[in-house]
Structure 1
């Protein structure tokens, strides 16, 4: 599956999600990754500021793209929201 994650990422108003768009050849999919996932699997300190959360997502784009692809291949409901369990095991 050919997927590209948008470089335009935003922090949700409550700071719990980093939101982004996954672009596929035929469509775009709204996605997000939880603060918990970033703290557990992307080496973000607990309570980190928004800039650090966004940086972690940019640095982990490849891993995030793999997880989004897996969710889409399983035909999971959209928007795709990744949490810590998606990166475990």
Structure 2
């Protein structure tokens, strides 16, 4: 699986972090919500941009693994990861 990683960016509405990945020649835009980062990655509410990106980077391996599983199950060009994606039933 060819994967090229690009820099994550905080969404303009501050509701999440977007991180595009090139997969098989197609750019897939993933978004993880701040609610998911707060609940699963110890992000403080009302954190500044630097802290948000730090928490995202700290949890990136887990975030990416969940994102890749979602892409394989449901191919798309944009996927949003929410708290439900990280909570086990």
Quickly say closer, same or farther: Cα 1:41–1:4, change in 2 above 3 A.
farther
List alignment gaps of at least 5 residues for structure 2.
Answer: none
- Secondary structure of the residue aligned to 2:80 is strand
- Secondary structure of the residue aligned to 1:13 is coil
Q: Do structure 1's residue 22 and structure 2's residue 21 form an aligned pair?
A: yes
TM-score of the superposed pair, with normalisation by structure 2: 0.86
More strand by share: 2
Match of 2:43 in 1: 44
Match of 1:79 in 2: 78
TM-score of the superposed pair, with normalisation by structure 1: 0.86
Answer whether contact 1:3 1:65 (CA < 8 A) is retained: no
Deviation, 1:31, is 1.0
List alignment gaps of at least 5 residues for structure 1.
Answer: none
Q: Do structure 1's residue 68 and structure 2's residue 67 form an aligned pair?
A: yes
Answer whether contact 2:27 2:77 (CA < 8 A) is retained: no
Match of 1:57 in 2: 56
- Secondary structure of the residue aligned to 2:17 is strand
Deviation, 1:26, is 2.9
Aligned residues: 88
